[in-house]
A = this chain, B = another copy of it.
């Protein structure tokens, strides 16, 4: 493997600041899409299209025809999370750097590095052993709206014998995984308004309501210090993991102490203490505050009583919850919890239903074999705390979705110093190459 060249190419991809949530980066998202399109042509796609958007297109590709071989749809995304807080990065987020065998950059693991891995594994095959299809999107970090629209209009794009999604991590170093469930997400802005405009805290302090105070009180009520979310009905459809699943999780190399000190890097874990940490992460909904705007946030001091304050928040949803219901429940809870003199609105920015994935289809066994041959251990079945909004839509044509990945648990996704372990990348290229070859030896069942 010509690792120098590969690293150079991946670095080029990672240099593009394709932050989908910030309109200032629209042209960067387009550039990242073009980078992907060029790579698809490089692995033999004649039919490469930009679907659904000029700035955040879904890149569609059809690989060379391999008569009789199964069709494999590869999904991934070229957009990335915003890089702030910038000052906490050791090196700039869009100037990829290698330190101790780790490649540091925003998107290194989520998901450019993994898209790159899937594509370079095809290159390694020489002649493609299966019929490849590609759906590489540019809005995964912002709700996948474009891809959802495309798939609603053209559901046939997902027809395949299997769908392979590499946007995940090993459960621990040396422990590759396939995932049986993803949490969904409901992302919202909660705004409270207390007066017509901001007021002077000297003149009015003591008698005028303060939007930030009301917002803090509301947020404090929405989730207690015990980690319980105070949204009526929220836990109604939450189901505990099965005995079998619980037993399986106990065998995973997961230590709460190590999770706290090495990964969370805090003084304590929080949440609903009667559940194990893995249950809190994989089988329970969450409520998180991401940021608060309004009032005065510049340098120095301004003595203002804010009239309006907005919190960006999200709930993660677990299997059997549905996005629509949870959105309704949150909106109702907010109205119930604010005093009468406060006007509250809840605006939903994006969302995704949770996903449950069956992992007993034949291709899973082939991936297990590929991992065993290359890294010495097969895949374990785990759940994931994160969300990939489009997974339920990718399953609609009936093809099994294989959700796996080459990341490691300490890759710091969405956070400063996101990284990808280069050995994981080189191993991953060999694993997927082997998987494609094994799959190519089976015959198409769907006859796409």
- Cross-chain contact B385 with A205 (CB below 8 angstroms): yes
**0 or 1 for each of A291-314: is its CB under 8 Å from B? (1 = yes):** 111111111111111100101101
Q: A210–B291 Cα gap in the complex (Å)?
A: 10
Q: A240–B200 Cα gap in the complex (Å)?
A: 23
Select from chain B the residue with minimum beta-carbon distance to A196: B265
Q: Which residues of A (169-213) have their CB < 8 Å from a CB of B?
A: 183, 185, 187, 194-210, 212-213
**20 extra interface residue pairs, beta carbon distance < 8 Å, beyond A187-B303, A270-B341:** A21-B301, A22-B298, A82-B302, A88-B197, A194-B266, A199-B415, A200-B386, A200-B413, A200-B415, A203-B281, A205-B288, A208-B269, A216-B216, A216-B219, A217-B220, A291-B295, A297-B297, A301-B312, A301-B350, A303-B414
A21's partner among B183, B194, B292, B302 (CB-CB below 8 A) is: B302
Interface status of A244 (Cβ within 8 A of chain B): no
Interface status of A81 (Cβ within 8 A of chain B): yes
Closest approach, in angstroms, between the C-beta of A285 and any C-beta of chain B? Answer: 8
Interface status of A363 (Cβ within 8 A of chain B): no
Interface of A: prevailing SS: loop
So how many copies of this chain end up in the complex?
A: 2
Query: Could you give 7 example pairs across A and B, Cβ below 8 Å?
Result: A21-B299, A82-B302, A197-B412, A208-B264, A212-B291, A290-B305, A291-B295
Q: A residues engaging B (CB < 8 A)?
A: 21-23, 81-82, 84-85, 88, 141-143, 183, 185, 187, 194-210, 212-213, 215-217, 219-220, 223, 225, 227, 259, 263-272, 277, 280-281, 284, 286, 288-306, 309, 311-312, 314, 316, 339-343, 349-350, 384-387, 409, 412-417
Q: Which of A183, A220, A291, A340 has the most CB of B within 10 A?
A: A291
- Cross-chain contact B387 with A284 (CB below 8 angstroms): no
- Cross-chain contact B265 with A203 (CB below 8 angstroms): no
Q: A82–B293 Cα gap in the complex (Å)?
A: 16
Decide yes or no: A289 and B84 within 8 Å by CB, A220-B216, A303-B314, A312-B296 being known contacts.
no
Q: A25–B215 Cα gap in the complex (Å)?
A: 31
Q: A225–B141 Cα gap in the complex (Å)?
A: 37
